[in-house]
Chain A
Amino acid sequence: MHELSIALGIVKIAEDETAKAKAKKVTKIELQVGVLSGIEIDSLNFVWESAVKSTVLENAEKVIDIIEGKGKCVDCDTEFEMENIYDCCPNCGSNFKGILKGKELSVKALEVI
Protein backbone atom coordinates (compact mmCIF):
# COMPACT_ATOMS: atom_id res chain seq x y z
CA MET A 1 0.00 0.00 0.00
CA HIS A 2 1.98 2.96 -1.31
CA GLU A 3 -0.62 5.39 0.03
CA LEU A 4 1.14 5.14 3.40
CA SER A 5 4.38 6.39 1.82
CA ILE A 6 2.40 9.15 0.16
CA ALA A 7 0.75 10.10 3.46
CA LEU A 8 4.15 10.20 5.15
CA GLY A 9 5.42 12.39 2.32
CA ILE A 10 2.53 14.77 2.97
CA VAL A 11 3.36 14.79 6.68
CA LYS A 12 6.96 15.69 5.91
CA ILE A 13 5.93 18.59 3.68
CA ALA A 14 3.50 19.85 6.33
CA GLU A 15 6.11 19.57 9.09
CA ASP A 16 8.71 21.45 7.03
CA GLU A 17 6.35 24.21 5.94
CA THR A 18 4.88 24.67 9.40
CA ALA A 19 8.36 25.01 10.87
CA LYS A 20 9.36 27.49 8.15
CA ALA A 21 6.30 29.61 8.93
CA LYS A 22 7.09 29.34 12.66
CA ALA A 23 3.59 28.03 13.20
CA LYS A 24 2.51 25.39 15.69
CA LYS A 25 0.11 23.23 13.80
CA VAL A 26 -1.98 22.78 10.71
CA THR A 27 -5.72 23.33 10.93
CA LYS A 28 -6.52 22.57 7.30
CA ILE A 29 -4.67 20.93 4.44
CA GLU A 30 -5.65 21.06 0.78
CA LEU A 31 -4.44 18.29 -1.49
CA GLN A 32 -4.66 17.86 -5.23
CA VAL A 33 -5.03 14.31 -6.47
CA GLY A 34 -5.43 13.53 -10.16
CA VAL A 35 -7.51 10.52 -11.17
CA LEU A 36 -4.52 9.20 -13.15
CA SER A 37 -2.02 9.74 -10.31
CA GLY A 38 -2.06 6.13 -9.13
CA ILE A 39 -3.46 7.05 -5.73
CA GLU A 40 -6.68 5.55 -4.37
CA ILE A 41 -8.44 8.20 -2.31
CA ASP A 42 -10.07 5.52 -0.14
CA SER A 43 -6.70 3.98 0.65
CA LEU A 44 -5.25 7.39 1.45
CA ASN A 45 -8.15 8.10 3.82
CA PHE A 46 -7.64 4.68 5.37
CA VAL A 47 -3.99 5.29 6.33
CA TRP A 48 -4.40 9.00 7.07
CA GLU A 49 -5.17 8.85 10.77
CA SER A 50 -2.21 6.67 11.67
CA ALA A 51 0.14 8.66 9.43
CA VAL A 52 -0.70 12.07 10.95
CA LYS A 53 -0.76 10.90 14.56
CA SER A 54 1.49 13.03 16.78
CA THR A 55 2.39 15.35 13.89
CA VAL A 56 1.40 18.92 13.01
CA LEU A 57 -1.36 17.41 10.88
CA GLU A 58 -3.09 15.62 13.70
CA ASN A 59 -6.67 16.97 13.81
CA ALA A 60 -6.21 19.00 10.63
CA GLU A 61 -9.15 19.11 8.27
CA LYS A 62 -8.27 17.40 5.01
CA VAL A 63 -9.70 18.67 1.74
CA ILE A 64 -8.99 16.71 -1.44
CA ASP A 65 -9.36 18.41 -4.77
CA ILE A 66 -9.85 15.66 -7.36
CA ILE A 67 -8.49 16.55 -10.80
CA GLU A 68 -10.14 14.90 -13.79
CA GLY A 69 -7.99 13.22 -16.43
CA LYS A 70 -7.49 14.78 -19.84
CA GLY A 71 -5.47 13.54 -22.81
CA LYS A 72 -4.57 14.77 -26.27
CA CYS A 73 -4.26 12.37 -29.18
CA VAL A 74 -0.84 12.43 -30.84
CA ASP A 75 -2.33 11.30 -34.16
CA CYS A 76 -5.37 13.57 -34.60
CA ASP A 77 -5.00 16.22 -31.86
CA THR A 78 -8.38 15.44 -30.31
CA GLU A 79 -8.56 16.37 -26.63
CA PHE A 80 -10.54 13.92 -24.51
CA GLU A 81 -11.52 13.05 -20.96
CA MET A 82 -9.58 10.13 -19.47
CA GLU A 83 -10.65 7.84 -16.66
CA ASN A 84 -7.87 5.31 -17.14
CA ILE A 85 -4.31 5.63 -18.28
CA TYR A 86 -5.10 3.20 -21.16
CA ASP A 87 -8.08 5.09 -22.60
CA CYS A 88 -7.63 5.54 -26.33
CA CYS A 89 -8.63 8.43 -28.57
CA PRO A 90 -12.43 8.45 -29.01
CA ASN A 91 -12.04 10.01 -32.45
CA CYS A 92 -9.44 7.82 -34.20
CA GLY A 93 -8.78 4.99 -31.71
CA SER A 94 -5.06 5.73 -31.35
CA ASN A 95 -3.27 4.66 -28.15
CA PHE A 96 -0.67 7.39 -28.53
CA LYS A 97 -1.60 10.36 -26.39
CA GLY A 98 -0.14 13.01 -24.19
CA ILE A 99 -1.60 13.37 -20.72
CA LEU A 100 -2.61 16.99 -20.14
CA LYS A 101 -4.19 16.66 -16.73
CA GLY A 102 -4.88 14.06 -14.05
CA LYS A 103 -1.37 13.04 -12.85
CA GLU A 104 -1.36 15.69 -10.10
CA LEU A 105 -0.34 14.68 -6.59
CA SER A 106 0.47 17.71 -4.53
CA VAL A 107 -0.05 19.69 -1.37
CA LYS A 108 -1.76 22.84 -2.54
CA ALA A 109 -2.17 24.84 0.66
CA LEU A 110 -1.93 24.68 4.41
CA GLU A 111 -3.81 26.70 6.98
CA VAL A 112 -1.62 27.00 10.05
CA ILE A 113 -1.79 28.59 13.47
Chain B
Amino acid sequence: MCGTCGCGSENNGPKILKPGEHKHVHGDHHHHQEGHAHSHATHHHHDGHVHTHDHSHDHKSKVLIIEQDILQNNQVLAARNRGYFEAKNIFALNLVSSPGSGKTTVLERTLTDLKDQIPFYVIEGDQQTMNDANKIDALNVPVIQINTGKGCHLESDMVFEAVKKLEMQNNAILMIENVGNLVCPSMFDLGESKRVVIISTTEGEDKPIKYPDMFHTSDICIINKIDLLPYVNVNVQKLKDYALKVNPKLQFFEVSATTGEGMQAWYDWLKIPS
Protein backbone atom coordinates (compact mmCIF):
# COMPACT_ATOMS: atom_id res chain seq x y z
CA MET B 1 0.00 0.00 0.00
CA CYS B 2 1.19 3.48 -0.82
CA GLY B 3 2.50 4.99 2.41
CA THR B 4 1.34 8.44 1.47
CA CYS B 5 -2.09 8.06 -0.06
CA GLY B 6 -2.99 4.42 0.55
CA CYS B 7 -3.66 3.85 -3.13
CA GLY B 8 -1.62 0.69 -3.64
CA SER B 9 0.87 2.27 -6.00
CA GLU B 10 4.49 1.17 -6.02
CA ASN B 11 5.76 4.68 -6.40
CA ASN B 12 5.87 5.86 -2.82
CA GLY B 13 5.12 2.55 -1.20
CA PRO B 14 7.50 -0.05 0.14
CA LYS B 15 9.93 -1.68 -2.26
CA ILE B 16 10.83 -5.28 -1.59
CA LEU B 17 14.05 -6.31 -3.27
CA LYS B 18 16.77 -8.95 -3.38
CA PRO B 19 20.33 -7.64 -3.63
CA GLY B 20 21.09 -7.17 -7.34
CA GLU B 21 17.45 -6.78 -8.29
CA HIS B 22 16.43 -3.57 -10.07
CA LYS B 23 13.99 -1.08 -8.67
CA HIS B 24 10.93 -0.45 -10.80
CA VAL B 25 9.64 3.04 -10.57
CA HIS B 26 6.34 3.57 -12.28
CA GLY B 27 6.21 6.95 -13.88
CA ASP B 28 2.49 7.34 -14.33
CA HIS B 29 1.34 7.77 -10.77
CA HIS B 30 0.36 11.39 -10.67
CA HIS B 31 -2.61 11.78 -8.43
CA HIS B 32 -0.48 12.90 -5.51
CA GLN B 33 0.33 16.05 -7.33
CA GLU B 34 -3.28 16.50 -8.40
CA GLY B 35 -4.35 16.02 -4.81
CA HIS B 36 -2.04 18.74 -3.63
CA ALA B 37 -3.22 21.08 -6.32
CA HIS B 38 -6.79 20.64 -5.07
CA SER B 39 -5.76 21.25 -1.52
CA HIS B 40 -4.34 24.62 -2.42
CA ALA B 41 -7.39 25.56 -4.41
CA THR B 42 -10.03 24.81 -1.81
CA HIS B 43 -10.29 25.86 1.76
CA HIS B 44 -10.87 23.12 4.30
CA HIS B 45 -12.06 23.62 7.80
CA HIS B 46 -9.98 21.80 10.29
CA ASP B 47 -12.46 19.42 11.69
CA GLY B 48 -14.43 19.09 8.51
CA HIS B 49 -17.92 20.45 9.01
CA VAL B 50 -20.40 19.02 6.61
CA HIS B 51 -21.02 21.38 3.73
CA THR B 52 -24.68 22.04 3.23
CA HIS B 53 -24.35 22.05 -0.55
CA ASP B 54 -23.36 18.40 -0.32
CA HIS B 55 -26.84 17.38 0.82
CA SER B 56 -28.66 15.45 -1.80
CA HIS B 57 -32.43 15.32 -1.91
CA ASP B 58 -33.67 12.02 -0.61
CA HIS B 59 -30.56 10.63 1.11
CA LYS B 60 -30.89 10.46 4.87
CA SER B 61 -27.86 9.95 7.01
CA LYS B 62 -27.56 6.77 9.03
CA VAL B 63 -25.23 5.63 11.76
CA LEU B 64 -23.15 2.48 11.37
CA ILE B 65 -21.90 1.00 14.62
CA ILE B 66 -18.76 -0.91 13.64
CA GLU B 67 -16.38 -1.08 16.62
CA GLN B 68 -13.47 -2.24 14.49
CA ASP B 69 -9.90 -2.37 15.72
CA ILE B 70 -7.81 -0.11 13.52
CA LEU B 71 -4.81 -2.44 13.63
CA GLN B 72 -6.93 -5.44 12.69
CA ASN B 73 -5.62 -5.60 9.12
CA ASN B 74 -2.06 -5.75 10.35
CA GLN B 75 -2.96 -8.31 12.98
CA VAL B 76 -4.73 -10.61 10.54
CA LEU B 77 -1.70 -10.79 8.26
CA ALA B 78 0.64 -11.09 11.25
CA ALA B 79 -1.33 -14.13 12.37
CA ARG B 80 -0.97 -15.55 8.88
CA ASN B 81 2.80 -15.02 8.99
CA ARG B 82 2.96 -16.60 12.43
CA GLY B 83 1.04 -19.68 11.26
CA TYR B 84 3.39 -20.05 8.31
CA PHE B 85 6.46 -19.77 10.56
CA GLU B 86 5.06 -22.30 13.01
CA ALA B 87 4.18 -24.79 10.29
CA LYS B 88 7.73 -24.60 8.92
CA ASN B 89 9.34 -24.51 12.36
CA ILE B 90 10.89 -21.15 11.63
CA PHE B 91 11.97 -19.11 14.64
CA ALA B 92 11.30 -15.51 13.59
CA LEU B 93 12.83 -12.57 15.45
CA ASN B 94 11.83 -8.94 15.06
CA LEU B 95 14.88 -6.77 15.88
CA VAL B 96 14.00 -3.24 16.93
CA SER B 97 16.09 -0.30 18.16
CA SER B 98 16.94 3.33 17.64
CA PRO B 99 19.05 3.99 14.53
CA GLY B 100 22.66 3.02 15.21
CA SER B 101 22.20 0.81 18.29
CA GLY B 102 23.82 -2.03 16.39
CA LYS B 103 21.09 -4.21 14.89
CA THR B 104 23.02 -4.87 11.70
CA THR B 105 26.32 -5.41 13.52
CA VAL B 106 24.75 -7.88 15.97
CA LEU B 107 23.18 -9.64 13.00
CA GLU B 108 26.43 -9.80 11.01
CA ARG B 109 28.34 -11.20 13.97
CA THR B 110 25.63 -13.76 14.76
CA LEU B 111 25.41 -14.96 11.17
CA THR B 112 29.18 -15.17 10.80
CA ASP B 113 29.48 -17.30 13.94
CA LEU B 114 26.41 -19.52 13.52
CA LYS B 115 25.58 -19.83 9.85
CA ASP B 116 27.38 -23.16 9.56
CA GLN B 117 25.21 -24.59 12.35
CA ILE B 118 21.79 -23.05 11.67
CA PRO B 119 20.15 -22.02 8.39
CA PHE B 120 19.39 -18.29 8.55
CA TYR B 121 17.24 -15.93 6.50
CA VAL B 122 17.17 -12.16 6.84
CA ILE B 123 14.69 -9.40 6.06
CA GLU B 124 16.17 -5.91 6.24
CA GLY B 125 13.93 -2.90 6.81
CA ASP B 126 15.19 0.60 6.09
CA GLN B 127 13.58 3.71 4.67
CA GLN B 128 16.19 3.87 1.92
CA THR B 129 19.14 1.96 0.46
CA MET B 130 20.19 -1.66 0.05
CA ASN B 131 23.24 -1.15 2.30
CA ASP B 132 22.25 -3.49 5.11
CA ALA B 133 21.02 -6.18 2.71
CA ASN B 134 24.31 -5.99 0.84
CA LYS B 135 26.22 -6.59 4.10
CA ILE B 136 24.14 -9.71 4.77
CA ASP B 137 24.42 -10.82 1.15
CA ALA B 138 28.22 -10.62 1.49
CA LEU B 139 27.93 -13.35 4.15
CA ASN B 140 26.05 -15.57 1.68
CA VAL B 141 22.89 -15.55 3.76
CA PRO B 142 19.60 -15.18 1.82
CA VAL B 143 18.26 -11.66 2.36
CA ILE B 144 15.43 -9.40 1.19
CA GLN B 145 15.53 -5.64 1.62
CA ILE B 146 12.31 -3.74 2.30
CA ASN B 147 12.58 0.00 1.68
CA THR B 148 9.66 1.64 3.41
CA GLY B 149 10.20 5.09 1.87
CA LYS B 150 8.41 7.48 4.19
CA GLY B 151 7.18 4.63 6.38
CA CYS B 152 8.94 4.45 9.74
CA HIS B 153 8.25 0.79 10.58
CA LEU B 154 7.62 -2.57 8.93
CA GLU B 155 4.08 -3.91 8.68
CA SER B 156 2.97 -7.51 8.42
CA ASP B 157 1.94 -7.27 4.75
CA MET B 158 5.48 -6.19 3.77
CA VAL B 159 6.95 -9.11 5.68
CA PHE B 160 4.42 -11.42 4.03
CA GLU B 161 5.61 -10.30 0.59
CA ALA B 162 9.28 -10.55 1.57
CA VAL B 163 8.77 -14.03 3.01
CA LYS B 164 7.22 -15.17 -0.27
CA LYS B 165 10.39 -14.09 -2.07
CA LEU B 166 12.69 -15.81 0.44
CA GLU B 167 11.42 -19.35 -0.27
CA MET B 168 12.66 -20.59 3.12
CA GLN B 169 13.39 -24.21 3.97
CA ASN B 170 12.02 -25.67 7.23
CA ASN B 171 13.77 -25.51 10.63
CA ALA B 172 15.50 -22.18 10.25
CA ILE B 173 15.85 -18.80 11.93
CA LEU B 174 14.42 -15.69 10.28
CA MET B 175 15.91 -12.39 11.44
CA ILE B 176 13.81 -9.33 10.64
CA GLU B 177 15.71 -6.06 11.15
CA ASN B 178 13.04 -3.39 11.59
CA VAL B 179 13.43 0.26 10.61
CA GLY B 180 15.54 2.12 13.18
CA ASN B 181 12.92 3.75 15.37
CA LEU B 182 12.02 3.17 18.99
CA VAL B 183 8.40 4.34 18.73
CA CYS B 184 6.51 3.29 15.64
CA PRO B 185 7.44 -0.40 15.20
CA SER B 186 6.08 -1.24 18.65
CA MET B 187 2.45 -1.22 17.49
CA PHE B 188 2.94 -3.45 14.48
CA ASP B 189 3.07 -7.19 15.05
CA LEU B 190 4.88 -8.87 12.15
CA GLY B 191 4.05 -12.41 13.22
CA GLU B 192 7.42 -12.85 14.91
CA SER B 193 8.08 -15.56 17.50
CA LYS B 194 9.97 -13.13 19.74
CA ARG B 195 10.67 -9.42 19.71
CA VAL B 196 14.21 -8.30 20.50
CA VAL B 197 14.93 -4.71 21.47
CA ILE B 198 18.54 -3.55 21.22
CA ILE B 199 19.82 -0.62 23.25
CA SER B 200 23.44 0.47 23.29
CA THR B 201 25.40 1.75 26.26
CA THR B 202 25.72 5.18 24.63
CA GLU B 203 21.97 5.82 24.75
CA GLY B 204 21.34 6.64 28.39
CA GLU B 205 19.83 4.46 31.06
CA ASP B 206 16.36 6.03 31.10
CA LYS B 207 15.53 5.14 27.50
CA PRO B 208 13.20 2.30 28.57
CA ILE B 209 10.88 4.72 30.35
CA LYS B 210 11.18 7.35 27.64
CA TYR B 211 10.10 4.79 25.03
CA PRO B 212 8.11 2.35 27.16
CA ASP B 213 5.94 0.78 24.46
CA MET B 214 8.90 -0.82 22.74
CA PHE B 215 10.25 -2.32 25.95
CA HIS B 216 6.77 -3.36 27.02
CA THR B 217 6.19 -5.35 23.83
CA SER B 218 9.64 -6.98 23.63
CA ASP B 219 10.70 -10.36 25.02
CA ILE B 220 14.46 -9.91 24.89
CA CYS B 221 16.66 -6.87 25.50
CA ILE B 222 20.18 -6.88 24.10
CA ILE B 223 22.42 -4.27 25.71
CA ASN B 224 25.04 -3.67 23.03
CA LYS B 225 28.39 -1.85 22.91
CA ILE B 226 29.51 -2.95 26.38
CA ASP B 227 33.09 -2.45 25.11
CA LEU B 228 32.35 1.27 25.48
CA LEU B 229 31.38 1.05 29.16
CA PRO B 230 34.75 2.43 30.38
CA TYR B 231 34.14 5.58 28.33
CA VAL B 232 30.47 6.31 28.92
CA ASN B 233 28.78 7.32 32.12
CA VAL B 234 26.01 4.74 32.19
CA ASN B 235 24.85 2.43 34.95
CA VAL B 236 23.79 -0.83 33.30
CA GLN B 237 21.96 -2.02 36.42
CA LYS B 238 19.89 1.16 36.43
CA LEU B 239 19.10 0.70 32.76
CA LYS B 240 17.89 -2.84 33.50
CA ASP B 241 15.83 -1.66 36.46
CA TYR B 242 14.06 0.89 34.30
CA ALA B 243 13.45 -1.74 31.63
CA LEU B 244 12.09 -4.21 34.20
CA LYS B 245 9.78 -1.54 35.56
CA VAL B 246 8.22 -1.32 32.09
CA ASN B 247 8.35 -5.06 31.47
CA PRO B 248 9.17 -7.35 34.39
CA LYS B 249 9.46 -10.37 32.06
CA LEU B 250 12.26 -8.96 29.92
CA GLN B 251 15.35 -11.16 29.53
CA PHE B 252 18.75 -9.46 29.01
CA PHE B 253 21.95 -10.14 27.11
CA GLU B 254 24.91 -7.82 27.53
CA VAL B 255 27.12 -7.92 24.47
CA SER B 256 29.63 -6.18 22.31
CA ALA B 257 28.89 -6.98 18.69
CA THR B 258 32.30 -5.67 17.68
CA THR B 259 34.50 -7.53 20.17
CA GLY B 260 32.19 -10.56 20.49
CA GLU B 261 32.07 -10.32 24.29
CA GLY B 262 28.86 -11.78 25.73
CA MET B 263 27.64 -13.11 22.40
CA GLN B 264 27.86 -16.77 23.46
CA ALA B 265 24.91 -16.46 25.88
CA TRP B 266 22.80 -14.96 23.09
CA TYR B 267 23.83 -17.81 20.76
CA ASP B 268 22.89 -20.38 23.40
CA TRP B 269 19.46 -18.79 23.68
CA LEU B 270 19.04 -18.77 19.90
CA LYS B 271 19.87 -22.46 19.68
CA ILE B 272 17.39 -23.47 22.40
CA PRO B 273 14.62 -20.89 22.31
CA SER B 274 12.57 -21.05 25.48
Which A positions have Cβ atoms within 8 angstroms of B? Answer: 1-2, 4-6, 8-13, 17, 21, 23-25, 27-28, 31, 37-39, 49-54, 57-62, 84-86, 88, 95-96, 105-113
Contacts and interface: CB of A to CB of B under 8 A. Distances in A.
A105 B64 contact: no
Given A59-B49, A112-B62, A2 B153 contact: yes
Contacts of A21: 62, 64
Contacts of B246: 85-86, 95
Interface string B14-49: 000000000000000001000100110000111111
Contacts of B260: none
B216 interface: yes
Given A49-B46, A107-B68, 6 more contacts: A5-B188, A9-B73, A23-B62, A24-B56, A38-B183, A86-B209
A95 B39 CA distance: 48
Most A-side CB within 10 Å, residue of B46, B68, B183, B213: B68
Contact of A108 (B62, B67, B208): B67
Nearest to A9: B70
Main DSSP-derived SS at the A contact region: mixed
A109 B65 contact: yes
A109 B64 contact: yes
B50 A27 contact: yes
B217 to A, nearest CB: 9
Contacts of A105: 69-71
Nearest to B208: A86
A100 to B, nearest CB: 15
Contact of A112 (B38, B44, B64, B188): B64
Nearest to B187: A38
